[in-house]
Amino acid sequence: MNGITPLFTDLYELTMASVYYAHGLVQPATFSLFIRKKSPPPRNYYVAAGLEEALHFLAGLRFNTQDLAYLKTTELFSADFLDYLAGFRFSGDVVAMTEGTIFFPDEPLLEVTAPLIEAQIVETFLINTIGFQTMVATKAARCVQAAQGRTLVDFGLRRTHGQDAGLKAARCSYLVGYAASSNVLAGKMWQIPVAGTMAHSLVQAFADEQQSFAAFAETYPDNSIFLIDTYDTLAGARKAVQVAKQMKTEGHSLLGVRLDSGDIATLGREVRSIFNATGLEGVKIFASGGFDEFKIERIVADQAPIDAFGIGTKVGVSADDPYLDIVYKMVRYDGRDVRKVSPGKKALAGQKQVFRQSDASDQYVADTIGCRREQVETATTLLNSVMQRGQILAHSPPLAELRRQFQRNFNNLPQRYKTLIPLNGPVAYPVRISDELAALQQHIAQA
Amino acid sequence: MNGITPLFTDLYELTMASVYYAHGLVQPATFSLFIRKKSPPPRNYYVAAGLEEALHFLAGLRFNTQDLAYLKTTELFSADFLDYLAGFRFSGDVVAMTEGTIFFPDEPLLEVTAPLIEAQIVETFLINTIGFQTMVATKAARCVQAAQGRTLVDFGLRRTHGQDAGLKAARCSYLVGYAASSNVLAGKMWQIPVAGTMAHSLVQAFADEQQSFAAFAETYPDNSIFLIDTYDTLAGARKAVQVAKQMKTEGHSLLGVRLDSGDIATLGREVRSIFNATGLEGVKIFASGGFDEFKIERIVADQAPIDAFGIGTKVGVSADDPYLDIVYKMVRYDGRDVRKVSPGKKALAGQKQVFRQSDASDQYVADTIGCRREQVETATTLLNSVMQRGQILAHSPPLAELRRQFQRNFNNLPQRYKTLIPLNGPVAYPVRISDELAALQQHIAQA
């Protein structure tokens, strides 16, 4: 993930930078990255993700000669400014929430403090990578919650928005507790367990369905999950039973079967009966096809005997809420706290910290958004120093550790904030503004 | 876009390939890529996009030693099969619609014919890249349609799903007629004109709003678009007038101002009056903030004096319909036409062609999905041979030519099929199945 060109940006970041350069606006600025509330709220909580790539981007930011040659062709930049860009490095400080942290709208999940030009031109990338990963981690976490311990596997790669999204969706769904991904490249990149079943094409390539199962089992005697809905699901289940029995005589076991169409709850029960009637209680039933947290919740509520879900499209694109209202706003420049007042687009001025209070059993009670240097007794601070003077302070924990980080956060979020549809939830998690931060806003408004 | 690893795939593509390999299933297969109808239909028409990258992927497909080493660690593949992968090349044939072609659900936009393993393992990538690009090109085309000649600029980069999506969204929106993109890297990659204005942070970095405009104009005397809503839009407009007058005295012109919040139609009229009252009729008004085809249509219907739109999030993620039901299905194997019959998941068996009939003034009348070798008099065939034996037949036309291709298609699509909300449209574009193709389906169903 190194070496992403700084041309991955909106043109105005560079033209503004050139204005700052020409006018000597080179003092430190602080920008705050946060999610705005939507109304009605589509989510009860969010899961921070994407920091690792963001920090690598900042640390590796260089304009190479091709980049500079291209910028020259636009005739928008002076030779002086292009020379400046040739030596450009990101030299700022970053505070951020660890990936896997549960957070809420208006809370900054990252703040950059750097000379204005540096802080400005990284806006587009930071919003892009942290926004998308946070969105998908959040959506996937809701599926984990709905599944109540059943196994989830990411099948989203073919329907995510391009290649990068497919990789990140695999990473983020593993981060929040999926068991595996079908995405082979993500498996290689992050040591995510890879898993899969078979497609209808395999069944069709053989002249006979049962023959296709037998062939698959021959190659994968201990790793077979048969897809049984190509022609008739119950007939397919009975053929799978025949092959499973044969496997048993050879000392192997059929792992499972997959249902990909029809009424999954009803078919699941019927297929379960067919297997149980022949002593194949150990064969798992996988379901796929349009699953998201809502459809999982219905299957679980219905007590359908589905052991695992293949989760694809709707989570990979966060179909019910496919973008966050995530913004990166200047909150301080040259020692002066600032805010804009456009309708519906306010930001909290000043360098901030998020304080989280928990009860004696570690359950989260409330958050307070305060000034960076405030002290709030008994509270945990969520924004940690992760980069100083352009240097990453510590290597990002491995994905397995981030997974535990999320699990701890999730366990500590009280159950009443975990309703899937926020409108049905009793109360929103309390997020307050500290007196000191409120006073600062007031002070600026009157200035 | 070369050199994408073949590990960009779902695990089951490779495990199925290993079963095919072990069982000698090496005959040619044909797979068909098409979009399934959704109900209710969210779109009246689709715009094919993504072929260029798809062909480069196929032509460049190689498993390198790292890929093979990783696959070995999964313990799912025999040494023989890994040896086979080491020498793997895509040697198949592809027919496809040119990018920019308007098409409809059920019509194949691409068909691959190749030895089964080769045709199978490219599934995930083909669906991913053609699906996303087609979705975004279609969404952007609806904006062009709604804008009725007003200028559109892509501002989507920060909110697209990752980096790859941001680049492709810029390419696809230019393909369908946007004037420019804010995406600098896309500008470099595809010679797309780049454009932009300024952000609120620039206004805030200066102690005074008017001073920020003056500074920007000093650096960009012929390329300035002022963002006027940071504090108060009408006051911002009056400050912009002051700076514009000064620019005039120096022989320059303010290009425009941008509105990013509030009631755009009303503010647009007021701002237009302010500029016109001072003889600045030439200053354009740009609008941004949550625009999509529906919001553009309202502004246009309201005859609001908005000259150009910055179109971001909602188009970059196709927010109202963020995924296509696009599939890649085996329709023929080893000389045998095949189809699966899972509920709601039918595919048309056999190698196909799409025939389009037009009237004397080139307006499209109807399409017929037929067998590949049928002849339909007076019809244009939409699927062209683009790859043979793994070789790209002709280099993809430059983006400017694809843009003209789309424009021709769009001009030839009768107005009655261009309603934005299909439910309000009078009729769906007629797509028929030829008698010969229908007979083939019947024949298989009875077999």
Residue linked to tokens 């900042």: A58
Residue A190 above 80 pLDDT? yes
pLDDT (average), residues B364-378: 95
Predicted confidence at residue B2, as pLDDT, reads 44
Query: Which residues of chain B are within 8 Å of residue A345 when distances are taken between CB atoms?
Result: 260-261
Q: Does any domain span residue A424?
A: no
B19/A160 CB distance under 8 A: no
CA angle A353, A358, A360 (to 5 degrees): 150
Predicted confidence at residue B339, as pLDDT, reads 81
Bridge partners, A102 (sequence order) = A47
Q: Are residues B161 and B305 in the same domain?
A: yes
Between B12, B158, B205, which is nearest A20 by CB?
A: B205
Q: Are residues B127 and B147 in the same domain?
A: no
The rounded distance, in Å, linking the Cα atoms of B404 and A349 is 48
A220/B19 CB distance under 8 A: yes
Query: Which residues of chain A are within 8 Å of residue B31 when distances are taken between CB atoms?
Result: 201
Closest CA of chain A from B7, distance in Å: 5
B188/A29 CB distance under 8 A: no
Q: Torsions phi, psi of B33, nearest 5? A: -105, 120
Bridge partners, A418 (sequence order) = none
Cβ atoms B362, B380 nearer than 8 A: no
pLDDT (average), residues A213-237: 97
Q: What percent of chain B has pLDDT over 90?
A: 91
- Which sign, positive or negative, has the C-alpha torsion B198, B200, B201, B204? positive
The rounded distance, in Å, linking the Cα atoms of A390 and A92 is 5
Q: Which residues of B241-258 are buried (b: 16+ CB within 10 A; e: fewer)?
A: bebbeebeeeebebbbbb
Over residues A389-428, the pLDDT tens digits come to: 999 998 888 999 999 999 999 999 999 998 887 556 556 8
The rounded distance, in Å, linking the Cα atoms of B32 and A209 is 21
Per-chain mean pLDDT for chain A: 95
Query: Which residues of chain A are within 8 Å of residue B202 when distances are taken between CB atoms?
Result: 16, 19-20
pLDDT band, very low/low/confident/very high, at A380 (cuts 50, 70, 90) = very high
The rounded distance, in Å, linking the Cα atoms of A241 and A304 is 20
Between B12, B128, B201, which is nearest A163 by CB?
A: B128
Q: Does any domain span residue B294?
A: yes
Residue A187 DSSP SS3: helix
Q: Are residues B130 and B161 in the same domain?
A: no
Looking at A313-358, list the stretches that DSSP marks H as alpha helix, in order from N- to C-terminal side: 313-316
ipTM comes to 0.96
A262/B340 CB distance under 8 A: no
Bridge partners, A356 (sequence order) = A367, A380
The rounded distance, in Å, linking the Cα atoms of A159 and A199 is 16
Query: Which residues of chain A are within 8 Å of residue B23 when distances are taken between CB atoms?
Result: 215, 218-219
pLDDT (average), residues B370-397: 94
Between B8, B194, B341, which is nearest A11 by CB?
A: B194
Q: Does any domain span residue B358?
A: no
Q: Are residues B27 and B68 in the same domain?
A: yes
Q: DSSP characters for A77-92?
A: S-HHHHHHHHT-----
Pseudo-torsion of CA A74, B136, B400, B299, nearest 10°?
A: -80
Q: Are residues B28 and B88 in the same domain?
A: yes
Between B124, B159, B340, which is nearest A323 by CB?
A: B159
The rounded distance, in Å, linking the Cα atoms of A14 and B182 is 11
Last residue of a domain, one of A279, A306, A333: A306
Q: Are residues B206 and B262 in the same domain?
A: yes
Which CATH number do you get for residue A258?
3.20.20.70
Cβ atoms A289, A316 nearer than 8 A: no
pLDDT band, very low/low/confident/very high, at B1 (cuts 50, 70, 90) = very low
Q: Torsions phi, psi of B414, nearest 5? A: -55, 145
Residue A22 above 60 pLDDT? yes
Q: Does any domain span residue B344?
A: yes
Q: Are residues A95 and A208 in the same domain?
A: no
Over residues A265-284, the pLDDT tens digits come to: 999 999 999 999 999 999 99
Predicted confidence at residue B420, as pLDDT, reads 85
Q: Does any domain span residue A377?
A: no
Chain A residue closest in CA terms to B209:
A340
Strand ranges across the sheet with A364-371:
A379-381, A352-358, A364-371, A431-433
Structure tokens, B6: 């073949």
Predicted confidence at residue B425, as pLDDT, reads 60
Cβ atoms B384, B363 nearer than 8 A: no
Q: Are residues A125 and A16 in the same domain?
A: yes
Q: What percent of chain A has pLDDT over 90?
A: 91
Q: Does any domain span residue B262?
A: yes
| Region of poorest pLDDT, from A309-313, B333-337, B417-421 | B417-421
Domain count of chain B? Answer: 2
pLDDT band, very low/low/confident/very high, at A2 (cuts 50, 70, 90) = very low
Q: Does any domain span residue A261?
A: yes
Q: Are residues B283 and B346 in the same domain?
A: no
Predicted confidence at residue A1, as pLDDT, reads 40
Between B19, B22, B326, which is nearest A202 by CB?
A: B19
Over residues B41-86, the pLDDT tens digits come to: 899 999 999 999 999 999 999 999 999 999 999 999 999 999 999 9
DSSP 8-state symbol, A398: P
- For residue B128, give its domain range: 11-136+329-350+381-446
Q: Torsions phi, psi of A327, nearest 5? A: -135, 160
Q: DSSP characters for A278-321?
A: TT-TT-EEEEESS--HHHHHHHHHTT----EEEE-HHHHTTTTS
Beta strand residue intervals within B53-147, DSSP E: 93-96, 102-103, 110-115
Q: Are residues A337 and A248 in the same domain?
A: no
pLDDT (average), residues B18-34: 98
pLDDT (average), residues B79-98: 98
Cβ atoms A182, B10 nearer than 8 A: yes
Query: Which residues of chain B are within 8 Å of residue A7 when distances are taken between CB atoms?
Result: 184-185, 188
Q: Are residues A20 and A104 in the same domain?
A: yes
Which CATH number do you get for residue B53?
3.20.140.10
Cβ atoms A112, A126 nearer than 8 A: yes
Give this prediction's pTM.
0.97
pLDDT (average), residues B116-126: 98
Q: Are residues A116 and A89 in the same domain?
A: yes
- Please report, as a single letter, which amino acid is at residue B394: A
Q: Does any domain span residue B129?
A: yes
Last residue of a domain, one of B293, B316, B339: B316
Residue B314 above 60 pLDDT? yes
Over residues B204-226, the pLDDT tens digits come to: 999 899 999 999 999 999 999 99
